[in-house]
Structure 1
Amino acid sequence: MATSSNSNRNLYSAAVVSCLTAALFGYSVGFIGGEIVLPSFLAHFHLNHLSDRDLASARSWSVTAWIVGALAGVPIGMPVCSRLGRRLCLQFSAVLYVVGATVQVFSSGNMALFEAGRLINGMGVGAGTLVSPIYISEISPASQRGMLMSGYQVFIQCGALLGFWIAFISQAVLSDRSALQWQIPVALQLIAGLMLLIGTLLIPESPRYLAERGHYQLMEESLAWLRRISTSDPLLLSERLQIETAAELSKDLKQRPFIRELGKKDVRSRLVIGVGLMIAQNMVGLNALNYYAPVIFMSAGFTSVSSSLFLTGIFGIVKVVSSLAFMFKFVHVKGNRFWLMLGSGVCGASMLVLAYCVRVTTLPDHTHEASITAIGIVSVLMVYLFSFFFGVSLGPISWNVCAEIFPLHINSTCCAITTCTQWAFQVVIAAVTPPLLAKIGWATYVIYGGFCILSLLWVGIFVPETKGVGVGKPMDELFGAEKPVDEETIVEVSETTALLVHDRRRRSSLTAYS
């Protein structure tokens, strides 16, 4: 008899392939900060003779083009995901990412072409952030869904950490005159994108998507591969019938316009929760720390480039450790509401303490020598404390909840709305954080601390516990969804339902072969 780990091998493999979109996401974020300051990059794109203002603008466009591309990639990927399949959407994401990376590598000193590559690259990431959580949610049993969904955040942080160190090593090892110094970090995107593309050829389509399309034989084969059990196994039979029943109902409900679905109180509640979590994920201020961490470390007395970069690297490691801790331990200990509330509270306290530390700390300049102080060390610890508790709360759980709470027949549309919200608020934070830090400095952290407290209160009042709740009917019951008339007719007797659906599937299969 296969061991538990062996029985889940295919499930984990499919989840890992899907999570590669998150690695692309993280790497694109992680390497670009170091990339755009490399001497070889500046020389190749003729940026080394620009004024400080023009150089800052050029760097800003490289980052902004990617975020705008990601935002556009979500609605572009939505019809592919909903009509052509989850796996094909993963392939679509990989192709866009590889094309974008190729354009960047061979941009021939043309900055506009490089930014166009970043835009296409971002579109691939945006489509990936839409489809990957949906795919993982649909292939996972309720008992393992939380852990597997948490892997998405792990891959984001691992990708970001890898991107940071690749750019750092390129600068340290390769000559400033060598084009390889900037090309290697960019070219590694091709490897990651091709890994995703090849991986999608080895995994099956989501069983729920196949059932919804009436491909019951393929659904059965997909489910058997994912669970590594025979198609005649009673466990597979039970899960198959549940999926088929939900798919039959979903096909009828899909005929209704989305605006009609918004008229349902439970759908509106779910959208408010999903959109709210994505807003909170951005507004609590992690990006402010990502942007300002080196200056905080300098204010603590670590003024050399090597020490500042080292502490920034540790910052990335803390984010990886926290996401791994949540995936393999914390997700099994308490529910989502507990971690969301605890994380929001600790992040808020960290921000307020950090605001005080920055307020009373004098930055080193030509009149003040650098020195390591207790207040400066506390500042560094607050950055790490914030990143750890963000990584076990809003970081992974926002993606998890959005992927699992919506009805199957409108899941793609609702996830597109929440994912677009995520990217739209990344644009907002990227735009407002630098001027806030320039104008009000330490008070910026007070503002973000206030949003953390609002997140704590909002979760406590509005967000229900979804841990362990099955996707489909159990989730509908959690949100008090009205039972459709069609469903009342179909599920009066569960045994009859199973037989009817099974018989309908057999008749469909026979028709296909006749």
Structure 2
Amino acid sequence: MPLFNRLGLADTPREVFNYRLFWSVGVFGILGAGRGIDEGLVGGMITMRSFKDEFPLEVGSAEEIANRESTITSMVQLGSIGGALLAFLLCDRIGRVRSLQALTLLWGIGFVIVITSFGNIGQILAGRFLAGLGVGMTTVVGPTYLAEVAPKAIRGMLTNIFAGAVYFGVMVAYFANWGCSENISDASRSQWVIPQSIHIMFAGVIFLASWTVPESPRFLVMKGKDEEALTNLCTLRQLPIDHPSISSEILDVRDQLEREQESTRGSSFYGKLKELVTVPANRYRLMLGIMSQLLGQWSGASAITIYATSFFAALGKTGRSEQLFATCILGVVKFCSAYICAFFLVDFFGRRRSLYTGILLQTVSICYIAIYLAKVPASAHVDADTGGITGSAKRAGIGAIAAIYLSGFGWAMGWNSFQYLVNAEIYPSRLRAIGSSLVMCIHFANQFGNTKAVPSMVISMTNYGFFFFCTAVCVLGLLWVWFFVPETAGRSLESMDALFSLPWHQIGRHGKDLSPGGIDHFNENDLEKPTVVHRD
């Protein structure tokens, strides 16, 4: 029980952990699969012979081919930039649930356009852009809802169900590509169409399930619908309306909203934007979100996920089937790692320590890959009979492939968990949607740039130069986390203001000591002390 108490669960009624909460969390959490499915599918799709035969990809110089392929690959990311902004406009107007329904329609219709393209590259690009609008919305709508309905003691775990779902989608996509490549002829367009149809299946199932989940109580309070908010909170917590836990939570939400409204500088988009960038506490929050995207996206993990088959080829995987199977293993590693981190590390180990440890693992593994590729070029130590790398180079290559998997675990523990959780939990209620939207615009702009740039970077810098670049970014990430990232585990959403009201240079390294309230300040002896009531 001491550990149970230390994690802040002692004061949480058992009824709170119920099927209605977990079902609602599951519906919004699985939205992460939208981005993951595309990242896992598109890299394999453009390498399939059936796709190359249907679309004229292999025409022109190496640079022209790389540019054409990266344009197709990155179109979802380009659409997602607009989708992240659209999410803000819809989230604060029609609510989290209706926004989810809108995005699944965009997502599904977009990929219907893709699979009916029949050789028209323009239609492929249009469909992927439209789907990108929906996929971009998922990164705001999902984490926002999850953070708002989750009990504070397990908020990190429940919010990171979204982050884990990204790699559930990646894993499903990798196996779909591999299975169709192995079992469907290169002459049939079904080889690439069937994997792409997974998007439509996921979007349809989530759309239907969304009609069974309640709207976020925090959103309803913000809209002045207090009675409906109270009803929905009771539904999510499975507690009676007069329970002290319900009264306390709803009062906290109302108090914070009233404080926000008193200090507001306008209710319009521009008023909220001004408040976000002119108030020092909000500016620090925005910095955390933006820097996590810049450093996380260029750390190499996203490029490895999308172009996994190419990187496995550079590490000695010779056949297409062998390369695709290696990506399947990577998908399993990232999926398992994401949920291990979500369920056992992020809330219990802490946000800051999890992020620092994850980046450290990523730095070491990516540096090893860079050194291997620098010392063992693809043409070295090739066996004339098998065409594969032999001897010590082969053993080192196995280590490099293992390092790819280790970097996936580090990414899941570090940046992948943090980049969604930080946006969902640090902003005040009225700024949560716009703050998350702006940061996720930066996320997809970086991912678009990364996806477009990686093929050209590999040509100009070579594979090992690219991985050395990623290593340098990881080292910068370690320094940034050490100085700027605060510990927020165990805090209520309404208690974040005290943390971010500290001087900027104290928030990261000393915030948990100067602004108590997280799991590190839980005193087990407090449970044994009787409450003394003084009467006049």
Q: Same fold by TM (over 0.5)? A: yes
1:139 paired with 2:161, answer no
Counterpart in 2 of 1:385? 406
For residues 297-333 of structure 1, the C-alpha deviation after alignment (integer angstroms, 9 at most, x for no partner) is 4455442333322222211111111101101211243
Q: In 2, Cα distance between the equivalents of 1:419 and 1:350?
A: 27
In the TM superposition, what is the alpha-carbon distance from 1:208 to its structure 2 partner?
Answer: 0.3
1:314 paired with 2:324, answer no
Counterpart in 2 of 1:425? 446
Counterpart in 1 of 2:21? 11
Report the secondary structure of 1:193's partner residue: helix
Counterpart in 2 of 1:405? 426
Counterpart in 2 of 1:469? 491
Q: In 2, Cα distance between the equivalents of 1:188 and 1:290?
A: 18
Counterpart in 2 of 1:460? 482
Counterpart in 1 of 2:44? 34
Amino acid at match of 1:152: F
1:175-324 to 2 correspondence within 5 Å? Answer: 175-254=185-264, 256=266, 257-258=271-272, 259-290=274-305, 293-298=308-313, 300-324=315-339
Counterpart in 1 of 2:363? 348
* Structure 2: gaps spanning 5 or more residues: 1-12, 504-536
Say whether the 8 Å CA contact 1:279–1:425 is kept in structure 2. Answer: yes
In the TM superposition, what is the alpha-carbon distance from 1:249 to its structure 2 partner?
Answer: 3.0
Q: In 2, Cα distance between the equivalents of 1:141 and 1:431?
A: 40
Say whether the 8 Å CA contact 2:39–2:305 is kept in structure 1. Answer: no
Moved more, 51-60 or 318-327: 51-60
Amino acid at match of 1:237: S
Q: In 2, Cα distance between the equivalents of 1:95 and 1:398?
A: 25
Q: In 2, Cα distance between the equivalents of 1:292 and 1:179?
A: 22
Report the secondary structure of 1:15's partner residue: helix
Amino acid at match of 2:369: L
Moved more, 233-242 or 405-414: 233-242
Say whether the 8 Å CA contact 1:206–1:222 is kept in structure 2. Answer: yes
In the superposition, the TM-score normalised over structure 2's length comes to 0.84
1:122 paired with 2:132, answer yes
In the TM superposition, what is the alpha-carbon distance from 1:6 to its structure 2 partner?
Answer: 8.2
In the TM superposition, what is the alpha-carbon distance from 1:254 to its structure 2 partner?
Answer: 4.4
In the TM superposition, what is the alpha-carbon distance from 1:252 to its structure 2 partner?
Answer: 3.9
In the TM superposition, what is the alpha-carbon distance from 1:176 to its structure 2 partner?
Answer: 3.0
Say whether the 8 Å CA contact 1:279–1:422 is kept in structure 2. Answer: yes
1:47 paired with 2:56, answer yes
Amino acid at match of 1:307: E
Amino acid at match of 2:487: E
In the TM superposition, what is the alpha-carbon distance from 1:192 to its structure 2 partner?
Answer: 0.6
Say whether the 8 Å CA contact 2:276–2:435 is kept in structure 1. Answer: no
Amino acid at match of 1:342: T
Instruction: Tell me the matched-pair count.
Output: 479
Q: In 1, Cα distance between the equivalents of 2:60 and 2:80?
A: 29
In the TM superposition, what is the alpha-carbon distance from 1:377 to its structure 2 partner?
Answer: 1.6
Q: In 1, Cα distance between the equivalents of 2:186 and 2:449?
A: 34
After superposition, the Cα gap between the structure-2 partners of 1:101 and 1:291, relative to the gap in structure 1 and judged at 3 Å, is closer
Moved more, 138-147 or 285-294: 285-294
In the TM superposition, what is the alpha-carbon distance from 1:158 to its structure 2 partner?
Answer: 0.7
In the TM superposition, what is the alpha-carbon distance from 1:186 to its structure 2 partner?
Answer: 2.1
Report the secondary structure of 1:331's partner residue: coil
Say whether the 8 Å CA contact 1:211–1:219 is kept in structure 2. Answer: yes
In the TM superposition, what is the alpha-carbon distance from 1:42 to its structure 2 partner?
Answer: 3.4
* Structure 1: gaps spanning 5 or more residues: 483-514
In the TM superposition, what is the alpha-carbon distance from 1:69 to its structure 2 partner?
Answer: 0.5
1:426-505 to 2 correspondence within 5 Å? Answer: 426-441=447-462, 442-472=464-494, 474-480=495-501
In the TM superposition, what is the alpha-carbon distance from 1:287 to its structure 2 partner?
Answer: 2.8
In the superposition, the TM-score normalised over structure 1's length comes to 0.87
In the TM superposition, what is the alpha-carbon distance from 1:253 to its structure 2 partner?
Answer: 4.1
Amino acid at match of 1:456: L
For residues 256-287 of structure 1, the C-alpha deviation after alignment (integer angstroms, 9 at most, x for no partner) is 32314532211111111111111121121113
In the TM superposition, what is the alpha-carbon distance from 1:467 to its structure 2 partner?
Answer: 0.8
Say whether the 8 Å CA contact 1:296–1:380 is kept in structure 2. Answer: no
Say whether the 8 Å CA contact 2:36–2:165 is kept in structure 1. Answer: yes
Q: In 2, Cα distance between the equivalents of 1:121 and 1:464?
A: 35
In the TM superposition, what is the alpha-carbon distance from 1:48 to its structure 2 partner?
Answer: 7.1
After superposition, the Cα gap between the structure-2 partners of 1:480 and 1:403, relative to the gap in structure 1 and judged at 3 Å, is same
In the TM superposition, what is the alpha-carbon distance from 1:22 to its structure 2 partner?
Answer: 0.8
Q: How large is the RMSD of aligned CA atoms in angstroms?
A: 2.4
After superposition, the Cα gap between the structure-2 partners of 1:260 and 1:147, relative to the gap in structure 1 and judged at 3 Å, is closer
In the TM superposition, what is the alpha-carbon distance from 1:57 to its structure 2 partner?
Answer: 4.2
After superposition, the Cα gap between the structure-2 partners of 1:305 and 1:234, relative to the gap in structure 1 and judged at 3 Å, is same
